[in-house]
Amino acid sequence: MQVTVELSQAHILIVDDQPANNRLMRMILERAGFKNITTTFDSRESVRLYLEGQFDLVLLDYNMPHMNGIEVMEAIRAAKGEIHYLPVLMITAVTDREVRHAVLNAGALDFLNKPLDHMEVIPRVCNLLTVHMLKKGFEDQVRVRTRELQEANEKLEQANSKLQRAKMEVIHRLGRAAEFRDNETGNHVLRMSRYAGLLCKVLGGSATLCDCVANTLACECVESAAAMHDVGKIGIPDAILLKPGRLTEEEFAEIRKHPGIGAEILGGVLEEPLITARTIALTHHERWDGRGYPQGLKGEEIPLAGRVCAVVDVFDALVSSRPYKKAWSVEEAVALLVKDRGSHFDPQVVDAFVAHLEDILKIREELKD
């Protein structure tokens, strides 16, 4: 029986302590067309040869000095790992069923009985090699597909990252649009966003930050969303928004509409950070004591994201100069937050703000106007 060209290139290791058996097996294989055959009489050397080579099949005698066939397999698995595929055809003159079971349990794929039947050797060898070649081909395909999928996933991640950066840029520009309409200058939106992100980390990391939807939000989401807290001012008439003097009751009533306008602008999109942005826009003028607007929410009825932004918005507005007012000192602004702790502001948020004032001031310095 002649083997196919593909099978003839297989690398085969013959391990038998009897030189005559080694020569006989080599002769049978070479007559069938196999070309890459390695032999050894030493069971200990067989382990080294296997670990250093790339063998497709091992013809392994069971009963040998130093190490029997099972011990050779165990030594290879100890070096290669339990899940390593070990293509072994065990050769044995032992007919004891317990030995056969032990050999199979050790991972041998098939048996050849001594004395060898020449008509049986090549079909069994070819069957095992065919299975092994199919396995290698399948593994090669899996590796290729895995690499292709990894490359595609990397490209997708790059595209998503680019899209996310573009989305964040749009969000910040939308926030700046409202800021410019209100005579805000410089980096108010950026500072407020950073302050909000810092406080959210202090107050609980990835806790549920808003109650508008059932969703666990990361602090980075709040930091991005805070930029749009005053987007509703886009809908307020310039005559009111830019008025240098004191507002009338009617004009202030119009100003108080901007949270609702902002929520309407940002509504209808069930995707972060716009979900949280809507919550912040709607609730950052609510008060802890329930006297805020537009809904008159009280205490923890106000989502944490809104309570955080209420504090940082007031602080940054106080310490920033405007055409119609001078900037307060940091000490004066912090004193106001502490005074209104428990009335205007969530006490827990104010305490966190004061405890991390040094970090707040670093952000302020980094993003100063």
* DSSP single-letter state for residue 12: E
The residues, any chain, with a CB within 8 Å of residue 178's CB and separated by 6 or more, are: 228, 230, 231, 232, 233, 234
Instruction: DSSP for 43-70, please give it.
Output: HHHHHHHHHHS--SEEEEESS-SSS-HH
Dihedral sign from CA coordinates of 32, 38, 42, 46: negative
Q: What is the rounded CA–CA span in Å between residue 14 and residue 37? A: 7
Q: 40 or 116, which is more confident?
A: 40
The amino acid at 323:
P
In the predicted structure, residue 94 carries a pLDDT above the cut 90: no
User: Rounded mean pLDDT of the chain?
Assistant: 87
- 64 contacts 32 by C-beta, under 8 angstroms: no
145: its two tokens: 């597909």
Q: Cα separation of 252 and 55, whole Å?
A: 85
- pLDDT above 70 (res 302): yes
Is 70 a residue whose pLDDT tops 60?
yes
Between the CA of residue 339 and those of 274, 332, 342, 361, what are the distances in Å? 32, 10, 8, 20
Burial of 33 (0-12, 13-18, 19+ CB in 10 A): middle
Instruction: Evaluate if pTM is beyond 0.75.
Output: no
Q: Which residue has the higher pLDDT, 345 or 234?
A: 345
Place of tokens 């509409």: 257
pLDDT for res 192: 92
Domains plus CATH for the chain?
Answer: 5-144 (3.40.50.2300), 182-366 (1.10.3210.10)
Contact status, residue 139 vs residue 132, Cβ threshold 8 Å: no
In Å, how far are 73, 194, 343 from 353, measured between CA atoms?
A: 65, 12, 16
**pLDDT 10s digits, 127-174:** 999 988 888 888 889 999 999 999 999 999 998 888 877 777 777 777
